[in-house]
Amino acid sequence: MSFASHDSATRQSQGEAITAEDIAASGATADESTARYALILGDDALILSQRLSGWVSRAPELEEDVALANIALDLLGHARFLLTYAGTAWDKSEDDLAYFRGEEEFRSCRLVEQDNGDFGKTIARQLIFSFYQHELYSRLVNSTDTTLAAIAEKALKEVDYHQDHAAQWTLRLGLGTEESARRMQAGLDSVWSYVEELFTDVEPITELGDIAVLPSSLRDATLERLRRIIAEAGLDVPDMSGAHGADRSGRHSEQRGFILAEMQVLARQHPGATW
């Protein structure tokens, strides 16, 4: 029985949310390669969710405080789906994978690990990642793995908003004041070296055929759309090479340890606690 089962399809048709609990209850089991792929996608979403939650009560306006919190919650939902499915390969729960792996065991890209910086940097990070994620999920809906396809279908509806939100803020900042344009450009410059890592073909993705989406296949479409919105905002696409070590082998930015220390501290201090 797969996540895209009759029960789940019925829930979708009735407009009900599909949850990580549905995946766990479906009986779908990932093989190890598929699970490792789900970890890559889930870790990206989990770490970026944690980063964005840092804006709660600190955003430049109340409406934006709510918007960023909602995007963080969307990404946390994506992470729950993906980590729950990945865990079926090793008999681990989503909490096991989120809270009890060391920093070298995560496979998040370094883009999502970058600090929030000022609002311009956060929007630059969001613009790049949401455009990439939209292209990814648009193709993953056709995965031959019905669980991954169902996760992508649900997530894509939310990512539609994420990319629109980032694009509108890029235009607003780029076409705003001299200072807002300077900060938006500085944000793009600070994170652009991590873009190429998104499009690097690594194991296990290269082994999975029609189950996965090759990152390199997303490059042209994603960069074309990014260049177009950046130009429309009156900004420049940064001219720089990719940062060294883009292989998702466990190499990570210095930021990951700090993110995990904050995210994992409660679960590690009180293992097995429920509330």
CATH number of residue 241's parent domain:
1.20.1260.10
Q: Look-up: residue for tokens 């993110």?
A: 259
84, pLDDT greater than 50: yes
pLDDT at 18: 63
* Residue 227 within a domain: yes
Q: Look-up: residue for tokens 């759309």?
A: 225
- Radius of gyration of the chain from Cα atoms? 18
CA 44 – CA 68 distance, rounded (Å): 16
* Residue 9 within a domain: no
Q: What is the number of structural domains in the chain?
A: 1
* Residue 13 within a domain: no
Q: List the domain range (segments joined by +) for residue 261.
A: 20-269
Let me know: does 2 contact 147? Beta carbons within 8 Å.
yes
* Residue from 23, 10, 5, 13 nearest 151 by CA: 23
The CA distances from residue 110 to 4, 21, 49, 197, 241, in Å, are 32, 29, 14, 8, 15
CA 115 – CA 80 distance, rounded (Å): 22
* Residue 12 within a domain: no
Let me know: does 134 contact 159? Beta carbons within 8 Å.
yes
* Residue 150 within a domain: yes
Q: What is the mean pLDDT of residues 96-111?
A: 93
pLDDT category at 12 given cuts 50, 70, 90 is very low
* Residue 2 within a domain: no
Q: What is the mean pLDDT of residues 11-31?
A: 69
CA 195 – CA 112 distance, rounded (Å): 10
CA 43 – CA 60 distance, rounded (Å): 27
pLDDT category at 264 given cuts 50, 70, 90 is confident
Q: pLDDT: is 247 or 74 the higher one?
A: 74
Tens of pLDDT, residue by residue over 173-217, are 999 999 999 999 999 999 999 999 999 999 999 999 999 999 999
* Residue 112 within a domain: yes
* Residue 178 within a domain: yes
